[in-house]
Structure 1
Amino acid sequence: MNPNPKNQHSIKTRFTYRFLRALKQVNTRYTTARSSSSSSARRSLEIKQAANMCMAATVGSKRAWSRAMLSKIRRRRQMVRSRRLKIGNPRRRINSYCGESETEELREIVPGGEGLDTKSLLDETAHYIKCLSTQVEVMKDILHLYSLPVN
């Protein structure tokens, strides 16, 4: 893991540009649609997926978690194209009381963590958390920017 703040700024900047472009595409799709609770929920899901895709694409194939996330996104797109996507798939629940070790729980949480040794898993987890923090920071900045009063 590189503690260089300049590198983090680069990730943040690249993610921000990608994410703003993705948000614009999502907004374009939903400006013509009627606002309803189902389209609002679908829009929220698309924004979440866009954030994940943009962060994974920004990091590229350097990290196991980003490779796993990009692969999952590609598979999901192929399923949508072939109309085999089942809406409402149950999410995998992570239960810390099942006797699983913390390492096994991390393997389930961090994308691509299944095949990693403990040292690599911890390194990937730290990087993944840093990238998720960057996502939250960028989203807060965007929210703040668009919620400023107009003079």
Structure 2
Amino acid sequence: MNRKHRTKNPNNNKLMLAFHFLRALARINKSTSTVSSYQRSCIIKRAAYASMAHAAGPRRAWSRALLYRLRRGSSRLHALPAIRRTRSFSHKRVKVASPKLREPNQADVLRRLVPGGEAMELSSLLKETAHYIQCLSAQVWLMQNVVGSITS
């Protein structure tokens, strides 16, 4: 039972995030295609989310869900309620008693905010949420430093 204890560097996530994001920015700048500023901001936003998910690694459910959405080409990065379209039928439907609509509790709201959190139990959801918030704050830190280095 010789386990090697690795002390995890708390800045490792920030370093990996910076590495992935700056590499993605370099690739974006190398592309010579002319795009509008809105399209460019969308590309940079997707690169920021992808680099954050890559830095988190495949063990986190939110990073796998986020990468899946990005690979699938979904323009919606956050889980928003889908709009359902109904078809009108010529025949009359039988009315069924609808279940009472309930107010979503805080865990359900959290499940919709964290990518991949829809099917998680509460303890896993809280762990994933804490890590997701940590990565989002690292992303904000990185963006502030990038903007600060460009403007000064």
Structure 1 residue 28 displacement after superposition: 2.5
What is the TM-score when the length of structure 2 is the normalising length?
Answer: 0.74
Residue 14 of structure 1 pairs with residue 16 of structure 2: yes
**What SS does the aligned partner of 1:114 have?**
coil
- Alpha-carbon distance between aligned partners in 1 of 2:33 and 2:71, rounded to the nearest angstrom: 26
Which has the higher relative contact order, 1 or 2, with Cα contacts under 8 A spaced 6 or more apart? Answer: 2
Q: 1:14 to 1:108 in 2, by over 3 A?
A: same
Match of 2:113 in 1: 109
Structure 1 residue 73 displacement after superposition: 1.5
Match of 2:34 in 1: 33
For the pair shown, the structure with the greater C-alpha radius of gyration is 2
Among 8, 23, 26, the alignment partner of 1:24 is: 26
Residue 122 of structure 1 pairs with residue 126 of structure 2: yes
Identity, in percent, stands at 42
**What SS does the aligned partner of 1:49 have?**
helix
User: Unmatched 5+ residue regions in structure 2?
Assistant: 1-6, 82-101
Q: 1:15 to 1:112 in 2, by over 3 A?
A: same
Structure 1 residue 70 displacement after superposition: 1.1
Greater than 2 Å deviation, 4+ residue runs = 5-8
Q: 1:32 to 1:66 in 2, by over 3 A?
A: closer
User: Unmatched 5+ residue regions in structure 1?
Assistant: 77-84
- Alpha-carbon distance between aligned partners in 2 of 1:51 and 1:71, rounded to the nearest angstrom: 15
Match of 1:92 in 2: 80
What is the TM-score when the length of structure 1 is the normalising length?
Answer: 0.74
